[in-house]
């Protein structure tokens, strides 16, 4: 029996980079907090849609990883959305514990200063 593949109707909507990847933004479903950005290829997206567990492609390790598989800080996927250009995914998740590998709740925990007059 052949291995399952991503639904062709979904696959044709994706606009991948040269490595075959699409950016995936994880956002807490009930608060709107942006938690992290990772990468998905067709197989990572298929696994995520099939299991409801966020599965990503590690560019550094060249392997799939399920968020929280080793840390226990799981992402239970509530919804997946595709942006208008097809080059980014939004995962609305229920995050258990911190999302960032540093132990912070969000990977976006460092503020950068705006130049005077740069803020609206």
The whole-number pLDDT of residue 73 equals: 95
Q: Encoding tokens for residue 59?
A: 């560019």
What average pLDDT does this structure show over 13-23? Answer: 96
Considering the domain boundaries, does residue 106 fall inside one? no
Range of the domain at 62: 18-91
Q: Encoding tokens for residue 23?
A: 């950016």
Whole-structure pTM value: 0.90
pLDDT band at 1 (very low <50, low <70, confident <90, very high): confident
pLDDT band at 3 (very low <50, low <70, confident <90, very high): confident
Among left, alpha and beta (phi > 0; psi -120 to 50; other), residue 9 is alpha
Q: Is the pLDDT of residue 119 over 70?
A: no
Considering the domain boundaries, does residue 5 fall inside one? no
Task: Indicate the number of domains in the chain.
Answer: 1
Considering the domain boundaries, does residue 10 fall inside one? no
Considering the domain boundaries, does residue 2 fall inside one? no
What average pLDDT does this structure show over 102-118? Answer: 92
Residue 100 · residue 51 · CB < 8 Å: no
| CATH code of the domain in which 60 resides | 3.10.20.810
- State the Cα angle at 83 between 82 and 85, rounded to 5°: 120
């Amino acid at each position: 029996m052949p291995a399952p593949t991503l639904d062709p109707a979904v696959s044709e909507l994706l606009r991948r980079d040269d490595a075959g990847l699409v950016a995936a933004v994880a956002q807490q479903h009930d608060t709107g907090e942006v938690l992290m950005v990772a990468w998905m290829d067709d197989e990572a997206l298929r696994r995520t849609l099939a299991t409801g567990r966020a599965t990503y492609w590690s560019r550094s390790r060249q392997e799939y990883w399920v968020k929280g598989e080793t840390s226990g800080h799981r992402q239970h996927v509530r919804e997946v959305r595709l942006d208008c250009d097809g080059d980014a995914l939004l995962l609305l998740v229920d995050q258990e514990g911190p999302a960032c590998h540093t132990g912070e709740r969000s990977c976006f925990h460092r503020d950068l200063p705006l130049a005077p007059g740069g803020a609206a």
